[in-house]
Every structure is written in structure tokens, then in C-alpha cells.
Amino acid sequence: MSTDASEFEGQGRRGTSSAADVLEGGTDDARAPEGILERYSSRYTSRGGTMDLPRTLGYVSVGLGLAGVLAPRAMSRLIGMPGNDGLLRFIGVRELASGAGLLTQRKATPWLWSRVAGDAMDLAVLGTGLRPSNPYRGRAAGAMLTVAAITALDVVASMRDSSQSSEVFRVVRKRQDKLIEHTVSVNRSPQDCYAFWRDVSNLSRFSPMLEKVTAIDEKRSHWVLRGPGGKKIEWDSEITADEPGERIAWRSISGDVKHAGSVRFQPAPGGRGTFVSAMMHFQPPGGHMATAVSKMLGKDPNHQVREDLRRFKSLLETGEVPSTRGQPSGRRGFIGRMTRDGRESREGALS
């Protein structure tokens, strides 16, 4: 199978991208998401071996293809069907295409199935060589047996690759739809970052989507989201994992929204502060509420989480969030009033 597949599969197996883990809070260490460092370094260094089955079949295709294209007469005699030079050339070109696909494309599946289709065609052609009038039908029968064996290999490789690919797509799709993950480096200690995030009343300071988060007790808190048109969306949340200086995970337990998240604080290499990695999972309920929440998240929830982390960093490092809200400007034009900056400035009057 292709190398990108193994990366995602490996990731899935370690549970780092699993929504279930985020929702459960992953209190046991085996299921806890790994730190951003280990994950990316392993993702980019553990390339699999080069001589896997699809690759081998690719080389076989290229060999057969070259033989068919360059020496069709010899090949047609070899398989007991002399005089079919044109057909052999065509088969050669087809094999070259399959081989090129298998050796150069990241996704092997369609090219493996193209080989299976080609095998079926070859068997049909060779079948015509078994007719009694063919003096070389013995050679044709031998060729058929060889092709049948290769066909079996092709089918095995194709089916195995297909099942792995769908697994890959499942994981990838989940990552895009629901799980959002970003990392920011903060010039403070993991302990400082953890303490600031752990005080839930701070959350709304760097996540402006939230109007207010108040602690109910040690574990539970009440969240209020600022809805469109002043409408409030509220839910209760509980902390499911709390490792001081290292990690916090939480999930909603009642209310309008199903939400879970976790944040990990890792010492950055070389003593350069902390890598803060947040993983968020949103699952808005159906109907009216879903619309409201998705509106709030904007077209790109990824952007929201990334900007929240950026504000978290600024607060920790400078004590404030950079802003131009309420600064003066001259008269804004049509385009300006469509942008956030344009709307948030105090416009002058016509002079």
C-alpha cells in the first residue's frame, strides 16, 4: 500500500485523531493523544519499505509492457499466438500505463484494479488460443496458467489496498469535519499556560465566541455562547482529564451543544517556552440550534480555533490581546464596511 496510507493508519491506531478519545477525555495514558512533537516526527520519518506488493506488480507491468511494445513478434510467439503483433503492442502500452500509475501515484488502488481488468482481457484473448486449430495451443495454455497466477496476486493486492484506503478516508474525513487541532508556541512555562487555561473564567478572554464561562465546582463549569441576534446558547461542561502542567480535557454534559476539547502543554525544545496544542470537537445538535452554532463558528471553525490560540499566546506573553477595535478612521467605503476592521473603527464625518 502507499506510504501516505500508512501514515494515517498509524495515526489512527495510536488514537490521536479519534473523536471518541477527545470526547472520553482519554483518562488512561494509552489512549491519550500524544504530544505534537512525537506525532509529527513519527509521521514524517516512518516511511515504509519500498518493495511492497503494489510496487512489485508495478515493476512487473513495466517489464511486460516494454517486452510487448519493443518485441511484439517474439512475445506473440512465446504465448503461442504468432501473428498478433498489433494486439501485443496494445497490451504492452496498457501494461506500461498500469506500471507507471503504480510506481508514481500516491494512491495505488485504481491502478491495481486496472491490472485486474487487464488480466481478465488477457485471459479472454489467450482463451481464443486454445482452439484446436491453433498448433501452438500448448504454449497458450502455459501462458494462461501464468496469467491466472498473476491475476490471483493482483486481486489479493487490490482488495487489501481497497480496504486500507477506505480506512484512510474515514480517518481523514473525520479530521476535516469535526476535529480541529492547532498548536501555538508560547514564551511562558507549561505550568503558567496550564494554570491560565485551567481557570475557566479566563476562556472567554481569548475566545470571544464565548460570553462567559463560570466554574460550578472543581470539575464542572457553565458555558454561555454569544448567539446571533443576542441569543444565548448555554451548556454545562465537565473536566474529564486534569494533569497539572501537562493536559486538560473536557466535554459537555448537558445543554444545547455537544462539545469536547483537550489541550496539551509541552515544553518546547531548547527551553523556548511551551507548545500549546488544542484539539476541539464540535457536534451541534440538529435543527435550529445547529444552524445557529455553525453560523457562530463561521465558515471556517479552523480559523476560530487558530485565532483563539493566538489570543491565548498574546494574553500569556503580553497581558493583552492586540486590537484596533474603536480606533478612528476616515469615511469607510462599501468594501471597508464589509470587513471586520472597517466596521470596528469609529468613522469620521464628512469634512
* Residue 299 in contact with other proteins, rule: CB under 8 A: no
| Pairwise CA distance, residues 246 & 316, whole Å | 16
- Our measurement of the distance from residue 219's CA atom to the centroid of its chain's CA atoms, rounded to an integer in Å, reads 32
Neighbours of 150 (CB within 10 A): 18
The three-point CA angle 278-281-284 to 5° equals 145
- Residue 247: CB minimum distance to other proteins, A: 23
Please identify which residue in 3, 41, 128, 327 interacts with other proteins, judged by CB under 8 A.
Answer: 327
Please identify which residue in 307, 308, 309, 312 interacts with other proteins, judged by CB under 8 A.
Answer: 307
Residue closer to other proteins by CB (options 142, 342) is: 342
Residue closer to other proteins by CB (options 135, 326) is: 326
* Residue 339 in contact with other proteins, rule: CB under 8 A: yes
Produce one character per residue of 322-336: b if its CB has 16 or more CB atoms within 10 Å, e if not.
eeeeeeeeeebeeee
Please identify which residue in 62, 272, 277, 297 interacts with other proteins, judged by CB under 8 A.
Answer: 272
Residue closer to other proteins by CB (options 128, 339) is: 339
* Residue 343 in contact with other proteins, rule: CB under 8 A: no
* Residue 287 in contact with other proteins, rule: CB under 8 A: no
Window of 2-10, 69-77, 229-237, 322-330 that interacts with other proteins by CB under 8 A: 322-330
| Pairwise CA distance, residues 137 & 82, whole Å | 11
> Taking Cα atoms as reference points, which of 121, 127, 52, 124 lies closest to residue 93?
121
Phi, psi (rounded to 5 degrees) for 26: 50, 55
Number of residues written out for the chain:
351
* Residue 124 in contact with other proteins, rule: CB under 8 A: no
Please identify which residue in 54, 273, 284, 301 interacts with other proteins, judged by CB under 8 A.
Answer: 273
* Residue 306 in contact with other proteins, rule: CB under 8 A: yes
| Pairwise CA distance, residues 89 & 159, whole Å | 29
Window of 2-10, 164-172, 195-203, 343-351 that interacts with other proteins by CB under 8 A: 343-351
- Residue 276: CB minimum distance to other proteins, A: 13
* Residue 320 in contact with other proteins, rule: CB under 8 A: yes
Whole-Å CA distances, 171 to 13, 38, 46, 165, 213: 10, 19, 19, 10, 32
> Taking Cα atoms as reference points, which of 201, 231, 343, 202 lies closest to residue 296?
231
| Pairwise CA distance, residues 286 & 275, whole Å | 35
* Residue 324 in contact with other proteins, rule: CB under 8 A: yes
- Residue 265: CB minimum distance to other proteins, A: 17
Burial class, 160, CB count within 10 angstroms (exposed 0-12 / middle 13-18 / buried 19+): middle
* Residue 345 in contact with other proteins, rule: CB under 8 A: yes
- Cell 468594501 sits on residue: 335
CA torsion 141→63→3→115, rounded to 10°? -40
Window of 53-61, 113-121, 172-180, 318-326 that interacts with other proteins by CB under 8 A: 318-326
* Residue 351 in contact with other proteins, rule: CB under 8 A: yes
Please identify which residue in 19, 159, 241, 321 interacts with other proteins, judged by CB under 8 A.
Answer: 321
* Residue 348 in contact with other proteins, rule: CB under 8 A: yes
- Residue 328: CB minimum distance to other proteins, A: 4
Window of 2-10, 198-206, 214-222, 306-314 that interacts with other proteins by CB under 8 A: 306-314
Footprint on residues 145-204 left by other proteins (CB under 8 A): 185, 187
Phi, psi (rounded to 5 degrees) for 49: -65, 160
- Residue 208: CB minimum distance to other proteins, A: 12
The alpha helices in 29-130, defined as continuous H runs, are 36-45, 53-70, 72-78, 85-104, 109-128
> Taking Cα atoms as reference points, which of 215, 219, 261, 265 lies closest to residue 26?
261
* Residue 333 in contact with other proteins, rule: CB under 8 A: yes
Q: Under the rule (CB under 8 A), what is the footprint of other proteins?
A: 185, 187, 272-273, 303, 306-307, 310, 313-314, 317-333, 335-336, 339, 341-342, 345-351
